[in-house]
Amino acid sequence: MTLRTCCVLFALGLLAAAPARPNVLVIVADDHAAYVAGCYGNSAVHTPNIDRLAAQGTLFTRAYCNAPVCTASRQSFLTGKLPHSVGVTLLPTRLGDDQTTLAEHLKRAGYETAALGKMHFNGPSRHGFDERIDLPEFRRQQRAHPPRAVPSDTAVLPAWKPFTAADRATLVFDRECKAVNDPHGSERLALEAIRERAGGR
């Protein structure tokens, strides 16, 4: 019996033993905006698997990301709190063990939970997940099964090109939201826009 067969039988056994309730699957993708998926109306891309999941589940059309940085965004989503409330605002910041996560709420409701993939907990804690397969396991898998190269005749829109130094952000902010390199007064314009958005406060 293969490992795959064992896993399928194990999963079927869990499903048969579990009371009838919906399965919960949350997929978080890095740098993947909604406008590049067919289920959100983009006809130039082909995302049949994502489209099928969206058609069979819940498609959020009025959602937003709480932070432009993946670590803070993930921890905000998992805790239901804004990044500054969780204390995770930078890439290397560790999610505190005192923070209650979605996984812990699901466990209290009787669910078995697993976190598969890049979670950016920045520490060994499982944060309520029964199973956690993260970066070290991913790297082992990638070494054992290297990714296939994208065929050279793959069509993309617009034509793909690698990033260069010219593509880097030209405005960098420090921890106090002050522009470190502001040759064109962009910081002043950004602050004015923020004040205007906040009603002049």
Would you please indicate which residues are annotated as catalytic (active-site) residues? 70, 120
Contact 125, 95 (CB under 8 A): yes
* Phi, psi (deg, nearest 5) at residue 22: -70, 145
* Phi, psi (deg, nearest 5) at residue 114: -150, 140
| The pair of three-digit structure tokens given for residue 20, joined into one six-digit string | 């009838």
The one-letter amino acid at 47: T
The one-letter amino acid at 58: T
Nearest to 160 by CA among 170, 172, 151: 151
Taking the C-alpha atoms of residue 66 and residue 158, their distance in angstroms, rounded to an integer, is 28
Nearest to 120 by CA among 80, 78, 85: 78
Contact 124, 136 (CB under 8 A): no
Task: Say if residue 135 is exposed, middle or buried (CB neighbours under 10 Å; 0-12, 13-18, 19+).
Answer: exposed
